[in-house]
């Protein structure tokens, strides 16, 4: 299983991040924010297959491209249409659903569930296409436990509320740990690979405590303890548009520990720290310091301010690399 990602949009323009989680048998697709024109280079089939849309917050540069997504999925019934964002998302999304004239809608069968994330609970609101999305139906209110909003056999998504003078959500995607067979220990036991390894790797309900291998009986749990090795899966953090002060760094550093890749806005040069604080954004040095504290493997800087030119963007990258050497721009952005 592997996490792949693409940063959508150009430097100095609206951005989004498209994440694919490949389990080897299936692929889950997640979209984080949806700025203007961000989906232009994503195929129609890939957009149709997006499982979740996560908004950090609802400012224009993060939602302006939602119409593209919605135009291609408003009829979709092949999978749930699931949208996540901070408190107030259902109200904003209903406006997006209704920003065009609807007629001939009575026979439509699709529906959209919008999840408003609060500090300790989630409110889910459902909108029906056959009502022209006119009515917000309160579906469920559930507690937010351990910051986890999505939890499947393959991956989980956690959320942390940050401060952008409005709630802005930081998301962390984590693959479930990989369970593999130690082939060295397998050989030491004089055993050969076979179908029986599936029973070792994947516990089943009401399974037998023993397993037959080449005519001999073995205790299942003993074999698991001897042969199985668990390794962490990949992880990806999506962080944008919030105040990255000391308090925020202290909050994020523990939960980001050893993250595979941290994708983070980098709006301001260090010399413009006062502007960053005023607008509740980040400097490149603050971002890099957070990555260093969290011991992440890779830092990808995006959502650059158009107040700067290309030379200043490269200066911004160098400021980050001084603190965290494995800082980069998205593939294809730069330029030199």
In a domain, 101, yes or no: yes
Same domain, 223 and 281: no
Residues 92 and 136 in one domain: yes
Strands 210-213 and 178-181 turn out to be: unpaired
* CA distance linking residue 123 with residue 137, whole number of Å: 11
For 287, the 3-state DSSP assignment is helix
Q: Same structural domain for residues 36 and 169? A: yes
What are the tens digits of pLDDT across the range 183-217?
A: 888 888 888 888 888 878 888 888 888 888 888 88
* 173 and 193 share one domain: no
pLDDT on residue 336: 43
Q: Encode pLDDT of 11-62 as tens digits.
A: 999 999 999 999 878 899 999 999 999 999 999 999 999 999 999 999 999 9
Q: Looking at the structure, do residues 171 and 151 belong to the same domain, yes or no?
A: yes
Rg, the chain, Cα only: 23
Residue 238 placed within a domain: no
- Give the end-to-end CA distance of the chain in Å, rounded to a whole number: 33
**Per residue in 77-96, pLDDT tens?**
999 999 999 999 999 999 99
Give pLDDT tens digits for 171-184: 999 999 888 888 88
pLDDT digits (tens, 9 = 90+) for 243-294: 999 999 999 999 999 999 999 999 999 999 999 999 999 999 999 999 999 9
Based on the domain organization, do 145 and 192 belong to the same domain?
no
Total structural domains within the chain:
3
| 61 noted as active-site residue | yes
Does residue 235 fall inside a structural domain? Answer: no
Look-up: residue for tokens 């050969």? 192
94 within domain boundaries: yes
- pLDDT category at 335 given cuts 50, 70, 90 is low
pLDDT value, residue 41:
92
Say whether both 24 and 166 belong to one domain: yes
- Active-site residue identified among 10, 61, 67, 163: 61
Are residues 147 and 46 located together in one domain of the fold?
A: yes
Structural domain range at position 93: 1-177
CATH number, domain with residue 100: 3.60.15.10
């Amino acid at each position: 299983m592997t996490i792949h990602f693409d940063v959508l949009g150009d430097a100095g323009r609206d951005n989004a991040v498209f994440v694919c989680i490949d389990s080897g048998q299936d692929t889950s697709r997640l979209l984080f924010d949806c700025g203007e024109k961000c989906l232009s280079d994503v195929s129609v089939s890939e957009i149709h297959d997006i499982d979740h849309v996560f908004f950090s917050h609802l400012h224009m540069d993060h939602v302006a491209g939602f119409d593209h997504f919605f135009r291609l999925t408003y009829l979709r019934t092949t999978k749930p249409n699931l949208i996540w964002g901070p408190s107030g998302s259902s109200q904003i999304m209903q406006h997006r659903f209704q920003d065009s004239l609807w007629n001939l809608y009575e026979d439509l069968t699709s529906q959209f569930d919008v999840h408003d994330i609060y500090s300790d609970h989630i409110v889910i609101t459902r909108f029906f296409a056959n009502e022209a999305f006119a009515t917000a139906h309160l579906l469920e209110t559930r507690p937010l436990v351990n910051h986890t909003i999505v939890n499947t056999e393959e991956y989980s998504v956690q959320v942390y509320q940050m401060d952008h003078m409005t709630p802005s959500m930081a998301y962390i995607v984590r693959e479930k740990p990989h369970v593999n067979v130690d082939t060295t220990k397998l050989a030491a036991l004089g055993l050969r690979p076979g179908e029986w390894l599936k029973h070792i790797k994947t516990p089943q309900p009401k399974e037998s405590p023993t397993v037959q291998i080449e005519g001999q009986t073995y205790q299942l749990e003993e074999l698991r303890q001897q042969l199985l090795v668990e390794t962490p899966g990949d992880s990806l953090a999506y962080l944008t548009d919030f105040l990255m002060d000391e308090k925020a760094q202290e909050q994020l550093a523990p939960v980001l520990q050893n993250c595979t890749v941290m994708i983070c806005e980098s709006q301001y040069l260090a010399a413009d720290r006062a502007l960053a604080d005023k607008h509740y954004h980040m400097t490149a040095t603050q971002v890099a310091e957070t990555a260093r504290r969290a011991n992440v493997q890779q830092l990808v800087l995006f959502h650059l301010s158009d107040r700067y030119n290309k030379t200043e963007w490269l200066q911004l990258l160098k400021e980050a690399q001084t603190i965290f050497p494995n800082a980069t721009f998205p593939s294809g952005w730069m330029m030199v």
